[in-house]
């Protein structure tokens, strides 16, 4: 990973060049388009949803996809399409909040460890090692379980471990950059540590962070859906894709659409972020494209 | 090599000590007084102050926290994690009974993933940018993005509900293992396919491969003799590291298929707030995870001498 980060930094393509390469990456464009549609769907949910997502109409329970309800209804007669549309809000919100927190904490601590070195580095990185000794979802599951099922518990539990991968990568990148001539030059001109880090080092290590954050969105959406599926996330009657999938399980024989559509929504979203993340990685470092 | 092993061993001890401290402190994350929570769990919601104090004495919760920790650690090292609130059985016994099921599932999933990933990765690399390569890479990307809990449900829907070929629940026969292993192995196969491909592509660009070709060796010989052998070091590492991911995935898969492993035990204990079992499960899973990572590191250093020299 360290070599990879160094390569991304050293290749250092101008932003325009990278954007040009990204524009040629068909899968990344497809991913970006899906993400834009998802964001618009989430933003315009009250206008796009054909029905109230929480309105129970028992007379229409477990209806298959049809004219009145495009994707059918669930066991309480709620419109599946409307719940999927509102569910997009939850998934994107969790992804954005968790990725922002983990990215900020990881970049700050990783940069501090790499720049300061010595005891600070040792302490931060050993703490990272310890947290990475737990399989992520297991610790998240336990913490969310102990705190009690809620969206906050899920976000807290995933964030608690999520920052470690950013810290590792950023530390490696800072170590590679901090000995460069331009950093030396800034230091000899009297720039302080904070200024060197903020103005000279961080802008030069953002490429791998952007790639990680994009792929991180996919990972967080998947993990939060898994925790909600297990009953630890957002609670009924609110619409959330993982819990919708879980709620449809008892009706798999009679109403398979309750299993198919929420899963499809999760997969499509995760796939879109993975496509975009992969495309960004290729665009920011053409060498990587060669080796996959 | 001995120096490297010693270094890794000391690091392992430190990490295990911290892991045990975090596992122990999970109990103290519970909102409110742990003694009251345990008393309510054991004797019902309406507990008197005396009962709470009795539980505090019984569990040693009146002692300073560091003494509680060392007491717990001593027990954990002997496999004694206390008694389950739910079943009244010793947690150590429960764990011993469930561990084989989780290991069986993880090994079967690994086999599934290798059977898919290694041939797909090799073909993909050797035929780079061909239709086969593009299809395999797209399939791998789909595999990475596929939520395993959804895949599990889809497999149940097709093979158990519609076709009625395979059972949904149970353990003991091969037919019980097929769907859980497929569910768990697919995600890993996707990651391993991508890595096998990139690893082989990297080796294909090396000078010694060019030399082998220049000597007039057939492409088959170049691949089998020079490329594959050198490509598999990072692949082996990832396969080892994926074992940890399998432990993660096992929790979800064991819940879907009611597979009687540690993941299912952990899940049931979380909802029953059975803290000794939660602590036992987390500790055992983390220790397995750390030990597998250590074995991977050692095998990596053994396979690739450059690692050992770098460490020195």
Can you tell me the distance from the alpha carbon of B181 to that of B249, in angstroms, rounded to the nearest whole number? 11
Scanning the structure block, which residue is given the tokens 């469930």? Answer: B98
Interface check A70 vs B, CB under 8 A: no
Task: State percent of chain A over pLDDT 70.
Answer: 92
Interface check B97 vs A, CB under 8 A: no
| pLDDT value for A292 | 41
Indicate yes or no: CB of B147 within 8 angstroms of CB of A252. no
| pLDDT value for B307 | 57
Q: What is the pLDDT of residues A251-276, one digit of tens each?
A: 988 999 999 999 999 999 999 999 99
C-alpha A234, offset from chain centre: 18
Indicate yes or no: CB of B282 within 8 angstroms of CB of A291. no
Question: What letters, b where the CB count within 10 A reaches 16 and e where it falls short, cover B143-160?
Answer: bbbbbbbbbbbbbbbebb
Which residue in B153, B271, B292 has the most chain A C-beta atoms within 10 A of its own C-beta, making it the best mutation to test that interface? B153
Q: Which residue of A has its CA nearest to B291?
A: A133
Q: What pLDDT tens digit does each residue of chain B (312 aa) get?
A: 777 778 878 888 888 888 888 888 877 777 777 788 778 877 777 888 888 888 888 877 788 888 888 888 898 888 888 888 778 899 999 999 999 999 999 999 999 999 999 889 888 988 888 999 999 999 999 999 999 999 999 999 999 999 999 998 888 889 999 999 999 999 889 988 988 888 888 888 888 888 888 888 888 888 877 787 777 777 777 777 677 778 878 889 999 999 999 999 999 998 887 888 998 998 988 888 888 878 877 777 777 666 555 544
Which residue in B24, B145, B243 has the most chain A C-beta atoms within 10 A of its own C-beta, making it the best mutation to test that interface? B145
DSSP B73-139: HHHHHTT---B-TTT-SBHHHHHHHHHHHHHHHHHHHHHHHHHHHHHHHHHHHHTTTSHHHHHHHHH
Can you tell me the distance from the alpha carbon of B47 to that of B36, in angstroms, rounded to the nearest whole number? 8
User: Which of A133, A142, A271 has its CB closest to that of B141?
Assistant: A271
Indicate yes or no: CB of B19 within 8 angstroms of CB of A133. yes
User: Which of A229, A232, A292 has its CB closest to that of B194?
Assistant: A292
| pLDDT value for A288 | 46
A-chain CB neighbours of B249 within 8 Å are 137
Q: Are B195 and B121 contacting, i.e. CB atoms less than 8 angstroms apart?
A: yes
Burial class (CB in 10 A: 0-12, 13-18, 19+), B44: exposed
Indicate yes or no: CB of A138 within 8 angstroms of CB of B266. yes
In this structure, what is the dihedral angle of CA atoms A97, A101, A102, A103, given to the nearest 10 degrees?
Answer: 100
Interface check A19 vs B, CB under 8 A: no
Indicate yes or no: CB of A267 within 8 angstroms of CB of B150. yes
Can you tell me the distance from the alpha carbon of A157 to that of A176, in angstroms, rounded to the nearest whole number? 31
Q: What is the pLDDT of residues B155-208, one digit of tens each?
A: 999 999 999 999 988 888 899 999 999 999 998 899 889 888 888 888 888 888
Interface check B147 vs A, CB under 8 A: yes
Q: Which two tokens stand for residue B283?
A: 């500790």
Interface check A225 vs B, CB under 8 A: yes
User: Which of B144, B149, B247 has its CB closest to that of A229?
Assistant: B149
Question: What letters, b where the CB count within 10 A reaches 16 and e where it falls short, cover B164-175?
Answer: eebbbeebeeee
Indicate yes or no: CB of A145 within 8 angstroms of CB of B270. yes
User: Which of B18, B30, B201 has its CB closest to that of A291?
Assistant: B201
Q: Which two tokens stand for residue B165?
A: 């070929």
Indicate yes or no: CB of A263 within 8 angstroms of CB of B194. no
User: Which of A134, A138, A143 has its CB closest to that of B29?
Assistant: A143
Q: What is the pLDDT of residues A235-245, one digit of tens each?
A: 878 899 999 99
CA torsion through residues B170, B176, B178, B179, sign? negative
Interface check A69 vs B, CB under 8 A: no
User: Which of A126, A138, A275 has its CB closest to that of B285?
Assistant: A138
Which SS3 state, helix, strand or coil, does residue B260 take?
coil
Interface check B105 vs A, CB under 8 A: no
Q: Are A86 and A45 contacting, i.e. CB atoms less than 8 angstroms apart?
A: yes
Q: Which residue of A has its CA nearest to B32?
A: A147
| pLDDT value for B150 | 95
Interface check B282 vs A, CB under 8 A: yes
Longest dimension (CA), chain B: 87
ipTM of the complex: 0.86
CA distance between the termini of chain A: 14
Indicate yes or no: CB of A133 within 8 angstroms of CB of B15. yes
Can you tell me the distance from the alpha carbon of B216 to that of A156, in angstroms, rounded to the nearest whole number? 59
| pLDDT value for B250 | 86
Which SS3 state, helix, strand or coil, does residue B216 take?
coil
Interface check B33 vs A, CB under 8 A: no
Q: Which of residues 204-223 of B touch A (CB under 8 A)?
A: none
Which residue in A38, A126, A132, A133 has the most chain B C-beta atoms within 10 A of its own C-beta, making it the best mutation to test that interface? A133
Indicate yes or no: CB of B270 within 8 angstroms of CB of A130. no
Q: Are B112 and B181 contacting, i.e. CB atoms less than 8 angstroms apart?
A: yes
Its pTM stands at 0.87
Q: Which residue of B has its CA nearest to A289?
A: B198
B-chain CB neighbours of A26 within 8 Å are none
- Compute and round to an integer the Cα radius of gyration of chain A: 22
How many CB pairs below 8 Å do chains A and B form together? 131
Q: Are B290 and B19 contacting, i.e. CB atoms less than 8 angstroms apart?
A: yes
| pLDDT value for A8 | 54
The CA-CA-CA angle for residues A127, A129, A131, to 5°, reads: 70
Can you tell me the distance from the alpha carbon of B218 to that of B237, in angstroms, rounded to the nearest whole number? 29
| pLDDT value for B312 | 46
Which portions of chain A are predicted below pLDDT 50?
A: 1, 287-292
User: Which of B26, B153, B293 has its CB closest to that of A259?
Assistant: B153
């Amino acid at each position: 990973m360290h070599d990879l980060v160094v390569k991304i930094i050293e290749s250092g393509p101008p932003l325009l060049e990278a954007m040009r390469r990204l524009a040629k990456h068909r899968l990344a464009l497809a991913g970006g388009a899906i993400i834009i549609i998802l964001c618009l769907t989430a933003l315009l949910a009250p206008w796009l949803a054909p029905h109230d997502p929480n309105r129970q109409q028992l007379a229409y329970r477990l209806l298959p996809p049809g004219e009145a309800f495009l994707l059918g209804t669930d066991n309480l007669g709620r419109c599946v399409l409307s719940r999927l549309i509102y569910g997009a809000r939850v998934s994107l919100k969790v992804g954005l909040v968790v990725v922002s927190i983990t990215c900020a904490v990881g970049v700050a601590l990783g940069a501090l460890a790499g720049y300061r070195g010595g005891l600070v580095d040792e302490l931060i990185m050993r703490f990272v090692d310890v947290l990475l000794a737990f399989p992520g979802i297991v610790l998240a599951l336990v913490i969310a379980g102990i705190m009690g099922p809620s969206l906050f518990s899920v976000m807290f539990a995933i964030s608690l471990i999520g920052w470690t991968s950013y810290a590792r990568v950023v530390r490696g990148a800072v170590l590679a950059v901090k000995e460069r001539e331009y950093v030396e030059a800034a230091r000899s001109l009297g720039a302080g540590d904070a200024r060197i880090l903020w103005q000279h080092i961080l802008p030069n290590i953002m490429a791998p962070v952007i790639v990680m954050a994009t792929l991180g969105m996919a990972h967080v959406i998947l993990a939060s859906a898994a925790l909600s599926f297990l009953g630890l996330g957002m609670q009924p009657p609110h619409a959330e894709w993982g819990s919708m999938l879980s709620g449809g399980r008892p009706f798999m024989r009679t109403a398979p659409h309750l299993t198919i559509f929420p899963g499809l929504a999760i997969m499509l979203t995760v796939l879109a972020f993975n496509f975009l993340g992969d495309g960004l990685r290729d665009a920011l470092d053409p060498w990587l494209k060669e080796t996959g | 090599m001995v120096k490297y092993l010693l270094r890794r061993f000391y690091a392992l001890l430190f990490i295990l000590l911290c892991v045990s401290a975090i596992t122990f402190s999970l109990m103290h994350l519970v909102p409110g007084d742990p003694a009251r929570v345990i008393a309510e769990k054991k004797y019902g919601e309406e507990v008197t102050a005396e009962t709470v104090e009795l539980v505090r004495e019984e569990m040693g919760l009146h002692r300073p926290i560091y003494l509680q920790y060392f007491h717990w650690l001593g027990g954990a090292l002997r496999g004694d994690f206390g008694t389950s609130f739910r079943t009244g059985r010793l947690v150590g016994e429960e764990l011993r009974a469930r561990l084989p099921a989780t290991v069986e599932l993880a090994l079967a999933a690994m086999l599934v993933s290798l059977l898919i990933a290694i041939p797909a990765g090799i073909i993909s690399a050797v035929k780079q940018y061909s239709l086969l390569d593009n299809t395999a890479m797209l399939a791998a990307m789909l595999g990475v993005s596929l939520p395993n809990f959804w895949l599990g449900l889809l497999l149940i829907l097709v093979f158990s509900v519609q076709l009625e070929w395979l059972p949904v629940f149970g353990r003991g026969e091969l037919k019980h293992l097929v769907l859980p292993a497929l569910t768990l192995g697919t995600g890993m196969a996707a990651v391993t396919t991508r890595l096998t491909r990139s690893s082989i592509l990297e080796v294909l660009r090396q000078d010694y491969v060019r030399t082998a070709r220049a000597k007039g060796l057939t492409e088959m010989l170049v691949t089998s003799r020079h490329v594959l052998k050198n490509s598999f070091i990072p692949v082996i590492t990832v396969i080892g590291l994926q074992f940890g991911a399998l432990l993660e995935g096992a929790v979800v898969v064991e819940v879907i298929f009611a597979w009687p492993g540690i993941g299912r035990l952990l899940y049931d204990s979380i909802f029953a707030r059975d803290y000794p079992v939660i602590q036992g499960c987390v500790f055992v899973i983390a220790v397995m995870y750390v030990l597998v990572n250590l074995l991977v590191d050692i095998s990596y250093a053994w396979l690739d001498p450059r690692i050992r020299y770098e460490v020195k």
